[in-house]
Structure 1
Amino acid sequence: MTRTPILAVVMAAACTTAAPVTLQAQAVSSASYPDVVRTSSYVPVRDGTRLAVNVYRPARDGVAETAPLPVIFSFTPYRARFKDKDGKIEELALSDRLAMRSLIRAGYVVATADIRGKGASFGHRRGFQDRTEAMDGHDLVEWLARQPFSTGKVGMIGCSYLGGTTFHTATTAPPSLKAVFIGASDLDKYAFVRRGGIPAQFNTRPDEPPEVDLASVPVDADTDGTMLRAAVAEHAANTPMAALWYGMPHRDSVSAFTGNAFWEEVGTYNYLDAIRRAGIATYFWSNWQDEPTAQSLLSAANFPESRFLAGPGSHCVPPPGFDFTGEITRYFDLHLKSAGTSAKAPRATYWVEGLNGKGGYVTSDMLPGEASTPQGWFLSGGKSGTARSANDGTLLLKGARAGADSFTVQYDLPDPEYFAFWAKPMDDKGLSYTTAALTKPTKLIGFPVAHLAVSADKPDAHVFVYLDQVDAAGKAEVVAFGRLALSHRIEGRAPYAAMGLPFHPGRQGDVMPVAPGQVVRMNIDMTPISRVVPAGARLRLTIAGADPRQRNLKDIRQNPAPVITVHHGGTEASRLDLPLAQ
């Protein structure tokens, strides 16, 4: 059975009729442009590769606006236009998940394109979000700016991979690109995909079969699909995604597929000065229950004039209870139409779970966590062995008992869903340390950091940490997590603003296995949180040695499984720093 790519589902537009170029909008009130006129064509980029581009122009009564308008562009690997299993056409530009349909109504031309090697575009991928793809984005931005329907001002928007194509295109500084809205993308791809030296689920899924791209809708001139079939045939030369990432264990590894230190090529942090010099406005967005949010927050920290938004919920889901389409429209109005208020907007808008007992949005001129102070909770007491219970150890503000707790790594874990965007409690898979019931509400905003003294009976082992919130009835949810291989524990200076977090370079020369029984320090930053933990709830730190979201568990398991020991109290104190906010 062919599996639909997850973000083709996440980013898919509402179904539309298959044939007409003029699309009548439904249930539109007080819209400046209720209709859309679409055209599609192949556009050659600098090396002659033809990319499939769709242009959606605002219209009234089926007639496109003739005056030049600013353009919003989105660049996707998930097919900008395709037929679903029922034969209905899905169109990225006609969805409001990224406000694109509302932007058309508001007087923007919206353009979408398939990246080379995907969808209806020709060519093949050398890598993923490499400089070739970035320059393709550059060329399409400038092509859009030159068209008669354009004012010459272009903005870009995207989330997940589409956020990455937006970010990477911005690093090439196209003269016509004025503003970008980047969702759930990464600043440092090595620190994201192989965080702590450990590859996990993001970017390691299998590649789609040709049938997926063959379901793309051909461009207008390709009436019989001949060009589409020829384009998809070229995709057979694509570099395989999982093999690319698995084949580069270190930050400075040379890829067998690209012939260079590919992590450095795809790290946007190497090109931030180009965005700054070009004066491109930046807005970073993600949601708290989504692993890329840490990268989005770090990205915002590297652009002092940027905006940041975090909502509740999962990957690329429009933040509920928030005027998301209005926020995006106002942002592009300001930077592409010079319209709207000139008053300085708040730097950050973000959801605080449990605020006033329910949850709500706050605004601030500081990024989440910048005003927080670390509150140390020390690991204490526990029993050694392989069978663990939820109350084996405790977290104390002081007076931790000296000792050590051990567990054997469990590799036989339940199969996760195809794309598990968030971790589930792992308290029965390792060691757990729990606070007493909190006596008052506690606001935590920012990055938790686990500072652990660890030893193992193997030269290397993976260490996963999870922070759970446990309610009075014992129901637990994971609110943050992190990972780090023992061999990747060495820290260095980050090549970008890292908000004071530990940075693990992961270069080959930095990787140091341990002697069996050797106690080493590990500082593991976790995904950021924003919540008020209510009185009566408890907080729990779980330490495990494998995660079900690792797609290659069967390949990396050690036999016999490592025994990992966590040392606490005395000179080997292990602690959890929580970001306490006022």
Structure 2
Amino acid sequence: MIRTLVASLLIAAAPTALHAQEAPGFGRYAPALKYGDTVVTSEYLTMRDGVRIAVSVTRPAIGNKPAEGRFPVIWTGSLDIGGPNGDGGPISVRGGRFGMGTIVGHGYVVVTAARRGSGASFGTRRGYQDRNEAYDAYEITEWAARQPWATGKVGMFGCSNTGEAVLHSMTVLPPSLTAVFSGCFSWNKFDGFTRGGIIANWGTGPTRTVAEDMKSTPVDGDTGRTLLRQAAEEHQGSTNLFDLMVSMPYRDTTSPLTYSRFWGEGSASSYAAQLRTSRVATYILGGWYDDFRGQGLIAHANLPNRPRIIIGPWTHCATTGFEEGVAAEALRFFDQHLKGIDTGILADAPVHYFTVNAPAGSGWRSASTFPLPGTDMRSFHLGSGGVLTTRPGKAAQTAFPVTREGKCPGASGASAQPCHIRGLGASWSMPVAADTEITGHPMADLWIVSDAPDEHLFAYLEDVAPDGKVTVVTEGRLKASIRKASAAPWQMSGLPWHRGFREDSEPLTAGEPARLQFAMLPASYVFRKGHRLQVTVTGWDWRERKAPATASTIRIVNDARHRSIVQLPFAPAVYTVAYAQR
């Protein structure tokens, strides 16, 4: 007999200071422009090893002449000195409105450097943000600080690969680096790019032909693009980044392409000791639909000086619908730290995030930390008959074949999203009896049996509308052979961590249950009354770049000895929460 139980969990009805509706000043900082014109020049800088790095300099101007005086410098390590991060382009994130003319007009000099192996710069990329690039950043920062048009205070900005370059610049402690605005990067490359030991990220870095590199912006004086061609031909010796990832199946693998354990060498987390001594003010940008949002929050937990973070309803490096507000926030941040203007930003809570599906006008929230203080983690069992339940119930085994078919519509590349592919894996659900906010990291704690020596396991938290439409809210994944949990060498805010060394690898044994514990990516989402909250588990995701070729069957076990559950982070002190279960 099916019995329906409705349980109401009454929490304080009124929002507390934890969930202010809008952080003071956010999106409303709008000082007047001081300069209406810009002057752009470009040149080569010679690094310590003789490699020439192309830089462009955009200065405030009056008419066709640079404005007199000294200005703070903001720079980015881009892939080109022109194009998206060059003249007139967005300075903070792709799709934004924080243009060169705008920030320079507020009294800044903007420097764009093509990182070695990119654009008009010479040299090759040895991996992805290796130590060569970090020390280049040191030299560029200090060069900018010494220029006659500079005050000596330098900031940086970037997103995605340029955002990660910002973090690596911080690790070498340039004395003049004062403030950085960085988004959508990995704190640890193994955890970010092969999350759970699985390569299912579509953004694996640039690989360009000579013809593609010849479209880059040459430096002043290279009218025949002779130097640009020499640089482009040199770039062909760069490491192929996807091949580099595939060559390192474990966190401690030495890659034959770089002759190093590059997951470590290329991770900002490896230089946490240096970062802890940094005095740089940090602002992190993330999106609830970006694959690196969890990495941004881990960086936030490990960086000193009370870093700031903003997470909106965006994909990778986009601020769609909030461009002007984010641009104003970035300017407010730089004005505070590079010009010493009291913008009010220091009085704001450091965590600023948007709750998807929140009532109109209440989406933006702020908090002192993330996960939110007072978060209520509740366990739900993957029971028999596809039911998600708060009670253990009868012993159950749910089996499904691992199939690798289907594709999600919409964004591709680094913005590719997961979706519910009908017939793939198995699902468990429960009705939502009242609007319910989930904010934090959902956790999966699953017992599986397989007839294969290894599996790629994916778990999705989903919202099922009354019309049957399924929306993936967040997801997590883990390669079964690296399921051994370990203590992380950095702050993980209570999340499980898997070292993933070769010696940790343990194949599955046919017929024997194995426990896989992993966090899903963080989310902030309101499940509406009348919908269903659903968990789906599969053995494949359409974004996988290197999936196992063998056919297999996975069984999810839930009995007295093996409890397969998900834990959901119920937000504190915001809603009266109710859920129904069978």
| Structure 1 length-normalised TM | 0.88
| Aligned-partner Cα distance in 2 for 1:438–1:209 | 52
Residue of 417, 420, 429 corresponding to 1:425: 420
| Aligned-partner Cα distance in 2 for 1:105–1:91 | 14
SS at match of 1:164: helix
Residue matched to 1:9: none
Paired letter, 2:268 = T
CA spacing shift, 1:259–1:547, aligned 2, 3 Å? same
SS at match of 1:479: strand
Does residue 443 of structure 2 align to residue 449 of structure 1? yes
Cα deviation for residue 341 of structure 1 reads 3.8
Cα deviation for residue 357 of structure 1 reads 5.3
Cα deviation for residue 467 of structure 1 reads 1.0
Residue matched to 1:165: 165
Residue matched to 2:65: 63
Contact 2:408 2:417 in 1 (8 A): no
CA spacing shift, 1:394–1:96, aligned 2, 3 Å? closer
| Aligned-partner Cα distance in 2 for 1:83–1:573 | 50
| Aligned-partner Cα distance in 2 for 1:516–1:211 | 51
Contact 2:96 2:320 in 1 (8 A): no
* Structure 1 unaligned spans of 5+: 1-27, 383-392
| Aligned-partner Cα distance in 2 for 1:219–1:456 | 58
| Aligned-partner Cα distance in 2 for 1:114–1:200 | 28
Does residue 544 of structure 2 align to residue 550 of structure 1? yes
The more displaced of 490-499 and 200-209 is: 200-209
Paired letter, 1:311 = G
SS at match of 1:353: coil
Residue of 379, 382, 399 corresponding to 1:379: 382
| Aligned-partner Cα distance in 1 for 2:364–2:84 | 38
Residue matched to 1:199: 199
| Aligned-partner Cα distance in 2 for 1:152–1:83 | 26
Residue matched to 1:313: 314
| Aligned-partner Cα distance in 1 for 2:342–2:361 | 32
SS at match of 1:163: helix
Paired letter, 2:160 = S
| Aligned-partner Cα distance in 2 for 1:200–1:180 | 29
Does residue 105 of structure 2 align to residue 105 of structure 1? yes
Residue matched to 2:433: 439
* Structure 2 unaligned spans of 5+: 1-29, 573-582
Contact 1:120 1:216 in 2 (8 A): yes
Paired letter, 2:447 = A
Contact 2:209 2:236 in 1 (8 A): no
| Aligned-partner Cα distance in 2 for 1:83–1:522 | 42
Residue matched to 2:6: none
| Aligned-partner Cα distance in 2 for 1:162–1:367 | 25
Contact 2:251 2:502 in 1 (8 A): yes
Residues 365-404 of structure 1: pairs in structure 2 closer than 5 A? 365-382=368-385, 393-404=386-397
Aligned residues with identical type, % of pairs: 35
| Aligned-partner Cα distance in 1 for 2:216–2:301 | 38
Cα deviation for residue 92 of structure 1 reads 5.5
CA spacing shift, 1:357–1:541, aligned 2, 3 Å? farther
Paired letter, 1:65 = A
Does residue 556 of structure 2 align to residue 566 of structure 1? yes
CA spacing shift, 1:287–1:93, aligned 2, 3 Å? closer
Residue matched to 2:521: 527
Contact 2:91 2:157 in 1 (8 A): no
Paired letter, 2:338 = L
Residue of 568, 571, 574 corresponding to 1:581: 571
Cα deviation for residue 29 of structure 1 reads 11
Does residue 347 of structure 2 align to residue 344 of structure 1? yes
Structural RMSD (CA)? 2.2
Does residue 461 of structure 2 align to residue 467 of structure 1? yes
Paired positions, count: 536
Residue matched to 2:122: 122
Does residue 139 of structure 2 align to residue 147 of structure 1? no
Contact 2:90 2:98 in 1 (8 A): no
Contact 2:335 2:343 in 1 (8 A): no
SS at match of 2:141: helix
Residue matched to 2:580: none
Cα deviation for residue 223 of structure 1 reads 1.6
The more displaced of 359-368 and 500-509 is: 359-368
CA spacing shift, 1:357–1:152, aligned 2, 3 Å? closer
Residue of 328, 331, 344 corresponding to 2:330: 328
Contact 1:126 1:258 in 2 (8 A): yes
Paired letter, 2:285 = W
Paired letter, 2:441 = F
| Aligned-partner Cα distance in 1 for 2:299–2:373 | 14
Contact 2:161 2:205 in 1 (8 A): no
| Aligned-partner Cα distance in 1 for 2:129–2:48 | 17
SS at match of 1:207: coil
Paired letter, 2:96 = R
Does residue 35 of structure 2 align to residue 33 of structure 1? yes
